[in-house]
Structure 1
Amino acid sequence: MREIVICGEALVDVVAARAPVSAGRLAALQPALGGGPFNVAVTLGRLGSAVSLCTAVSTDTYGDAIVAALQASGVGTGHLQRRDEPTSLALATIGTDGAAHYSFYVEGTADRLVRDPGAFPQTVSAVCFGTLSLVLEPGASVYESLLRRCHDEGRLVVIDPNIRPAVIADHDAYRRRFASWMDAVDIVKLSDEDADWLSAGPSGTGPSDWLAAGVTAVITTAGPAGITVTTAAAAVTSPAPKVQVSDTIGAGDSVVGGVLRHLENLGALSPRAVAELSAEQWLATAEYAGQVAAITVSRPGADPPWAGELRSDYVDNQQHPYPDVRSTRLSPE
C-alpha cells in the first residue's frame, strides 16, 4: 500500500470566542488541536489514505491528546518523536467574516526540535511539508534536508508554506529560502494571501518563477473564488461550493488533504504521474478538494470530513457538479 507522510508541527489552537467582551473581561478561550501539518494528516486519515505524521510531539497532556487524536482519525504515529519540551500554542481570534488570525507561543517547544527521521520505507510515495516547521529552527533545516532527500529519492514532494509573518524574523531571507526549494518540489499549494506575500520585496517570486524552476503545479486558494491549479500548459479554476461559513480554521489544510487524496485515487502519487495529469484531471482534483474544505469551514475549528460525508459524485469522480467551472488553456512560453 502506498503511504503519504506529512511533515511538520502539531500544536494547540487556543480559539477566542467571538462573543462581545464587557469592560475588563476577556472572551472565553477554547483549546483545540491543530497545526497545519496535523490538520492535513487528519484530513487524509479520515478520507481513507494510509498516512503518517512526522514530527516531534511533547510528552505533556496536550502531546498525549495529539497522539490520541491522530490515532482516532486513522493517522499512523510510527514517525512521531516524543520529547519533554512543551507543546506549541497558537492563539486564534475569529473575525466577523469567520477568518482566523493567529499569534504563536513557540519558544523552546517540542516540535521545533525534531530530529532527522532517517530513511522512509519504500512504500512512502508522497511527502508533504508546511507551515511553522519550515520557519522555526533548528527543525526547519531538518525538514529542508528531508525535503531534498525525498526529491532525490523520486518521491512526490508537496509544500504548503501557510505563511505566518509574525514568526518569520527576516521576511526577505525566507522568500529567498522558499525560492531555493522549488527545484525539489512538485506541487506548491498556497492561499492568494501567501502568493502576494511571497512575491513582495526584492527577493519576491511567484508561480511563473516556481514553474520555471521545476514545479509541476501551483494550487492557489482564494476563499469563495475557489481553487485554481496552474501548470506550464493550463490553468483551471473550480469555484468554492456555497456553504455557511462557521470559521476558516483548517480550510487550506483540508484543501491539501483533499488534493493528495484525489491524486491517490487517480494513481498519481509520483512526480511523473503528476506531470502527466490533464487539465480535466486537475479540475476534478480541485473540485474534490473544494468539497472537502467546504465541509470543514461549515463547522467550528479544524474538523475535516470523513469519507462518508462527501457527495458521491466527488468520490466517484464521474461528474462535475458545478456547471460554471472555468478552464483556461495557456500557451507555453
Structure 2
Amino acid sequence: MNAGALVVGEALIDEVLEGDRVSRHVGGSPANVALGLARLGVPTRLHTAIGADEDGQLIRTLLSDSGAALTEESVTDVSTSRATATLAVDGSASYEFTLSWDPRPLDDLGSPTVIHTGSLGAFLEPGNEISADIVRRGRGSGAIVTFDPNIRPSLIRDALTARSRFEALASSSHVTKLSDEDAEFLYPSRSIDFVLDALVDAGVAVVGITRGGHGARLASGAERVTVPPVVTSVADTVGAGDSFMSALIWALIFNGEGWDGQPIPQRRLERIGSIAASAASITVSRPGADLPKLDELIAGGTARA
C-alpha cells in the first residue's frame, strides 16, 4: 500500500472578523487536515467540492504550495463555500456559514494508507453519503480510517440523525478525535472519560478529546492519558483542533514506527499526544489556520524526523 493520505470533506474560505478587521483564509476542517498532513511530509490528496472561481483558486494555490493535491473531481459548477468566523477577546471563534456540500463521486481511491473524513462533509446532505462510501471502500481495502466530527450545531437540523451518523463513522474508524464541545453535543452531560470509554468499547483503537487550554485526554484499549497544554501566546484558535488531528495522524502512522490499527501502550500514547499538542500550540500562536511544517514541529522538541 502506498504511503499517503486521502482526505474527504469541505474546503472553504474563512472570513475572520476581529473588531473592525477582516481577514480571509482558506479553511474547512478536512482541508486544514490535508494541509497539515502535507506540511508534515505526508503525500496527501483532498477530495472536496469547490468552484472554478476566485475563492476556489485561493484554495487550490494554498494546498498546492503546501504539497497537497486536489482530486480532479473536486472542482464543481457551484460557488466555493464560505464561513464567517467572529473572534472573541480570548481568541475563540463562532461561525456562520454560506455553503453547500455536494461533491462528485470518487471512483478511484488509489491506495492510501490513511483515509480521513469529518466535519460538515460527514454530516451535510447530500454529500455525506459520498464521504461514507469512500470510508467504507477504503477500510475494506485496508486503509486506516481517521475521523473528526468537528460538529457545527447551527448547521445540524436533526441532532438524533447527526448522532447516528457520528456513531456509524466512529465505529468504522481506527482513530476518532473530538473536541470537548463535540463530546457535549454528542453525549450531553456525560463526562470526558465516559465518552472515551464508550468509543473504545465501540471498537475505536485510539480516541482523543481536546479541551482547549486544558489540554487533551487520549484513550487506547485500557490506557487513559492526560496531555497537558503547551503554554503559548494565543493569536486565535482557528485550526487548532485540525492541527492536533493532522499531527496525531502523522505521529501515530507516518513517524517511524508505523501502526497496525491496534491499541497502543501508554508511553506511545503520551508521546503522540505531546506531538499533537505541540502542533496545536504553534497554530494558535499565529493568525488563521496556519498549521506547522515538519521542521517547526521538530524544532519544538517533541517530534523527530
TM range (shorter): over 0.9
Normalising by structure 2, what TM-score? 0.93
What is the CA-CA distance between 1:299 and the residue it aligns to? 0.6
Query: How much identity, in percent, do the aligned residues show?
Result: 34
Distance change >3 Å, CA 44–CA 79, structure 1 → 2:
farther
Asked whether the equivalents of residues 208 and 216 of structure 2 are also in contact (C-alpha less than 8 Å), the reply is: yes
Measured after TM superposition, the shift of residue 276 of structure 1 is: 4.6
Query: Which residue is 1:77 aligned to?
Result: 70
Which residue does the alignment assign to 1:278? 265
List gaps (5 residues or longer) in structure 2: none
Compare 68-77 and 207-216 and name the one that shifted more: 207-216
Alpha-carbon contact 2:224-2:266 (below 8 Å) kept: yes
Q: Structure 1 residue 157 and structure 2 residue 145: aligned?
A: yes
- Asked whether 1:232 is paired with 2:221, we answer yes
2:49 counterpart of 1:62: no
Helix, strand or coil for the counterpart of 2:14? strand
Shift of 1:149: 1.8
The answer for the alignment partner of 1:294 in structure 2 is: 281
- Hey, what does 2:109 align to over in structure 1? 120
Aligned partners of 2:170, 2:179: CA distance in 1, in Å?
A: 17
SS at match of 2:108: coil
Matching residue of 1:14? 15
Deviations for 1:243-285, whole angstroms, at most 9, x for unmatched residues? Answer: 011100000000011011112103435xxx2315221111111
1:40 aligns with 2:65: no
Residue in 2 that maps onto 1:244: 233
Q: Distance in 2 between matches of 1:227 and 1:100?
A: 19
Deviation at residue 60 of structure 1 after TM alignment: 0.7
2:17 maps to a residue whose letter is A
Secondary structure (helix, strand or coil) at the match of 1:15 reads strand
Letter paired with 1:175: R
Unaligned runs of 5+ in 1: 19-26, 318-333
1:71 is aligned with what amino acid? S
The runs of at least 4 aligned residues of structure 1 exceeding 4 Å deviation read: none
Q: Distance in 2 between matches of 1:225 and 1:80?
A: 40
Aligned partner of residue 302 in structure 2, secondary structure: helix
Aligned-residue Cα RMSD (Å) equals 1.8
Counterpart residue identity of residue 143, structure 1: S
2:91 is aligned with 1:98: yes
In structure 2, what residue type is equivalent to 1:243?
T
TM-score (norm 1): 0.85
- CA deviation string 1:188-227 (max 9, x = no partner): 10111111110029xxx93322222211111111112212
Amino acid at match of 2:118: G
